[in-house]
Amino acid sequence: MLPDQPDTIWHPSPNFGPRRDGLMPSLIVLHYTAMESAQAALERLCDPAAEVSAHYLIGAEGTVWQMVAEDSRAWHAGAGEWKGQADINSRSIGIELDNRGCHPFGAAQMAALEVLMRGIMQRWNIPAAGVIGHSCMAPGRKSDPGPHFDWGRLARQNLALGTGHGSVPQDVSAFGFRKAASSAGFTAPVDDATLLSAVRLRFRPWASGPLEPADFSPLG
């Protein structure tokens, strides 16, 4: 039995193509729009000149627009990789959230996101570990959905991984951290500081300063 789906407005974008190499969605990538309104974001995501799109856009009040069919390749992720695999566009479904990145995500928007995600995850058999932020696969280049996004709320419903309580390894060096982060999926080729920022943005956005043992715990 499929979960309930949010009321969705079909607003097709011309910016899509076939998924490459027979790939089907195994990831959900969450974004914020960083624009002044959902309407402005919708226009950009459907503008041929912009050459960007996503499968879904969720407005601040919970309105859901679908722009690209789930079995097609939307242009939302760009350069980057996750778990050593590139072409994230062919491997994922992209969801844009109407948010400028500097304020919390509202209850109505989060509720709509959760209902939408349950359906996507069931249709494509995507596990909680397959839900990532844009910043996870493009560290340094992207920061969305940002430090105000409530990953814990999703984790409590098994819609994303939680912070975990993994053991801290003996090697708490930058090398040891890179090894742990890579095992968790953060494999994009970036420097140590950028990698630490990306992992913290996902699991410990309040943290600052140099690498510390607590940074390893979510990766266990």
Question: Residues with catalytic annotation?
Answer: 96
User: CA 19 to CA 70: how far, in whole Å?
Assistant: 10
User: CA 142 to CA 198: how far, in whole Å?
Assistant: 9
CA within 13 Å, CB half, 168: 8
Nearest of 135, 162, 127, 157 to residue 29 by alpha carbon: 135
Which residue matches tokens 């994922």? 92
User: CA 46 to CA 43: how far, in whole Å?
Assistant: 5
Which residue matches tokens 């209850």? 107
Cβ-in-10-Å burial (0-12, 13-18, 19+) of 36 comes to exposed
Which residue matches tokens 């409590």? 156
DSSP state for residue 168 in the 8-state scheme: P
